[in-house]
Amino acid sequence: MNGLGGLNKTPNGVVVGLVQLDLPTIHSKEDLQQQTQKVCDMMEKAKQFIAPIDLVVFPEYMLHGLSMDTSKELMCSVDGPEVQQLQESCRRTNQWACFSIMEVNPDGNPYNTGLIIDNHGVIQLHYRKLHPWVPAEPWEPGDTGLPVCEGPNGSVLGLAICHDGMFPEVSRELAYKGANVILRTAGYTPPIQQSWEITNRANAFTNLAFTASVAMCGTDGVNDSMGDAMIVDFEGTVTTQGGNRADEIITGEIRPDLAQEARVHWGVENNIYQLGHRGYVAVEQGVTDAPYTYMNDLKNGTYRLPWENDVQHTDGSRYSFPSPRSY
């Protein structure tokens, strides 16, 4: 249920607008400035939309396109003019929004960064992509962990950027920290479309959360992004889905209160609770150990696959990136 795409907002609802932004081609600082203005114009469009949008979600690469250009002049900073313009746009339109920037990093490659800004223009969440899409992306792996923030109308928001959503651990961590709405922004191209839907649905159901996801759309003459915005409820059902029309805003209502209700009252398939309370019918409060070898190996820095020595792609040379720095 999505209230006819958010047209019929309920008292406990959050109407989300997912922007299938047309894929830009960015070569200069002037291009970056023009694209920032376009994003602000789309915020104005969302404000005038027939559905009362509370949260506008833009895709990954909304300002920079898919060139993977790491030139310093094209990078942004969280306190820089592009972000300030986005903050002012949130204030002016009285809307929350999720934005994407490529963030300058003085100590290495830039970060692929997501920002959630409230309707007063205050940055409520600053997240650096934990899992760049290797070997095709050059970004520094994120160092912010996986933060969450309170959002509009009882929502708790978390953000997974593109490839992050392919790791169930990312959405589980966000839900574990309280997120009942998991946003996913992407620049994905059509070959990923099936995996996109599978993971968006699985991440929702296994965590009793809503997922709201959107990719860039259209073509830059080389790359083609898929759009395919979607909202999935906590039972794993797609309630809203877009196509591949560039600059279309796909809307739908999310009910964070219902996700919270399920987390409290579900018995069967309350998996996020049951993960840490194994077999509570047989054992009081369940077993609370960590039986998974990979979890302990990650923690101890000894993560190693049985086929580790056979893996062929372990740097970005396939995509003509230079050798990585030592860690």
258 vs 67: CA distance, rounded Å: 40
43 vs 94: CA distance, rounded Å: 10
Q: For the packed helices 29-48 and 81-93, what is the interaxial angle rounded to 10 degrees?
A: 10
Q: Please choose, from the candidates 201, 159, 218, the residue with its C-alpha nearest in 3D space to the C-alpha of residue 19.
A: 218
Instruction: Please give the structure tokens belonging to residue 308.
Output: 């580790």
- CB-based contact 35:267 (threshold 8 Å): no
Is 60 a residue of the active site? yes
Is 103 a residue of the active site? no
Instruction: Please give the structure tokens belonging to residue 318.
Output: 């396939």
Mapping DSSP to helix (H, G, I), strand (E, B) and coil, where does residue 184 land?
A: strand
Catalytic residue among 90, 103, 129, 140: 129
Q: What 8-state DSSP symbol labels residue 198? A: H
300 vs 321: CA distance, rounded Å: 30
Residue 265: HSE in the Cβ half-sphere, 13 Å Cα cutoff: 6
Catalytic residue among 40, 60, 82, 149: 60
Is 137 a residue of the active site? no
Mapping DSSP to helix (H, G, I), strand (E, B) and coil, where does residue 210 land?
A: strand
57 vs 249: CA distance, rounded Å: 9
Residue entry with tokens 């400035």: 33
240 vs 228: CA distance, rounded Å: 10
Catalytic residue among 90, 162, 173, 253: 162
Chain length of the chain: 327
Alpha helices in the chain (DSSP H): 3-6, 29-48, 81-93, 168-176, 193-207, 256-265, 271-274, 293-300
User: What's the chain's Rg over C-alpha atoms?
Assistant: 20
Q: What residues are annotated to the active site?
A: 60, 129, 162
